[in-house]
Amino acid sequence: MKYLFIITAIIIAIASGWITNVLVNELKEEERKKIEVWAESLALLMSQPEFENLDKAVEDAFNRYKSHLLNIIQDNTTIPVIVTDETGNVADKKNIEVPEQNPEEYLKEKIAKFSNRHKPIVIKSIEDIKIYVYYDDSTVLKNLQLFPFVQLAVVFIFIAVSFLALNSTKKAEQNRVWVGLSKETAHQLGTPISSLMAWVEYLKAKDIDSKLLTEMDKDVQRLKTIAERFSKIGSHADPEPMDLAEAVSHAVEYMGKRISSKVNIQTDFPEETICVLMNESLFGWVIENLIKNAVDAMDGQGLITISAFVKGKKTVLDLSDTGKGIPKSKFDAVFQPGYTTKKRGWGLGLSLVRRIIESYHKGKIFVYKSEIGKGTTFRIELRII
């Protein structure tokens, strides 16, 4: 739909430009004819002899004729004109403001510009002397010539604003869907979690293996954490100062017990503490999603490396795997909702990861590098405090 809108706008702009160009050419021709009439009137006025003792009626007619020619000449108030003789001396000028300093040089420059734009009109005086009439486009015509460019600029600005508005509307709609889905998921999880917690407490009162109950309690607490995460989507998640290495280690520890034993996770953090503002629950969700995707990309076996370092006023966290890799053309697409390479995937994991990093932690996440058959590195950048 948006591409159809853009194409339509471009067609309108081109059509408007073409129509304007036609009007400009017609107006140019009209001004040329007007100047030719003006020049012819000037030639006729200059060629009129002086008569004495004319009949009163003939004299009146002659004077009306001269007055008519003068009116034609004086009616030109918009088109700049310079009249010269055969040697180039300026005999007359109209609709031109001449500076007090170097007026002759100024008029010569004007004559050169006028002759480049329009072929001068040649007339002959009564003594058969050639007179040259140089003229320029009127202010109206010049403005009309600029109009297509202004019109195109306005159209392109309109296209850009409309495109941004459409994207903004689409993003706002996606946000509402995300928030609604997350809130509903948290709400739906609440009832069975409460029931499970009650059952765990009930079983603790019975003669049940304590190790089994401990694991059950951990899973119930995990479900509670997941519900809490979903409930925070769309809400104001207050970030708190947190050691980055500690937050990452919590997520790694949890995932390490739930992924294939053939996957090795290594961490490399500097000795000094890297403190950043974060919501640990949501940030842990990010790390878990990235680890899960890395495991899938490696088909359940390989090496995941998580490293961090400080770069200026921000900290950089890299998560690398030895998986299939991502084509360079898909570096941004992997974060789009619905993009997935899995048969049963929804394509929401990385989209959620970007949302959490950018919206709740004011950071950036992107594919730093990837090579087909060798692996991928995702990079997270966060401000340090």
Question: pLDDT higher for 328 or 225?
Answer: 328
The DSSP string of 75-136 is T--SS-EEEE-TT--EEEEES-PPPSSSHHHHHHHHHHHHHHHSPPEEEE-TT--EEEEEE-
Report the pLDDT averaged over residues 262-290: 91
Domain boundaries, the chain: 2-137, 238-383
- 274 C-beta neighbours (distance < 10 Å), count: 22
pLDDT of 166-198, one tens digit each?
777 777 666 666 666 666 676 667 667 777 878
Three-class SS state of 193: helix
Q: What is the CATH number of domain 238-383?
A: 3.30.565.10
Model confidence pLDDT, tens digit, residues 75-134 = 667 788 888 888 888 878 888 888 888 888 888 888 888 888 888 888 776 566 788 888
pLDDT in tens, 333-347: 888 876 777 665 555
Helix (H) or strand (E) holding 221: helix 210-232
The whole-number pLDDT of residue 198 equals: 80
Q: Are strands 364-371 and 375-383 parallel, antiparallel or unpaired?
A: antiparallel
Average pLDDT, the chain: 79
Q: What single-letter DSSP state applies at residue 337?
A: T
Higher-scoring residue by pLDDT: 9, 214: 214
The answer to whether the beta carbons of residues 366 and 377 sit under 8 Å apart is no
Distance CA 316, CA 339 (A): 26
What's the pLDDT at 237?
Answer: 62
Distance CA 208, CA 202 (A): 10
Six-digit token string for 232: 């925070």
For residue 260, pLDDT over 80 is answered with yes
* Confidence band for 301, pLDDT divided at 50, 70 and 90: very high
* pLDDT the model gives residue 233: 67
Q: Considering only the C-alpha atoms of the chain, give the largest distance between any 2 of them, rounded to a whole number of Å.
A: 145
Report the pLDDT value the prediction gives residue 143, as an integer from 0 to 100.
73
The pLDDT, as a whole number, for residue 44 is 64
Q: What is the pLDDT of residue 219?
A: 78
Residue 317: how many other CB atoms lie within 10 Å: 27
What's the confidence (pLDDT) of residue 321? 96
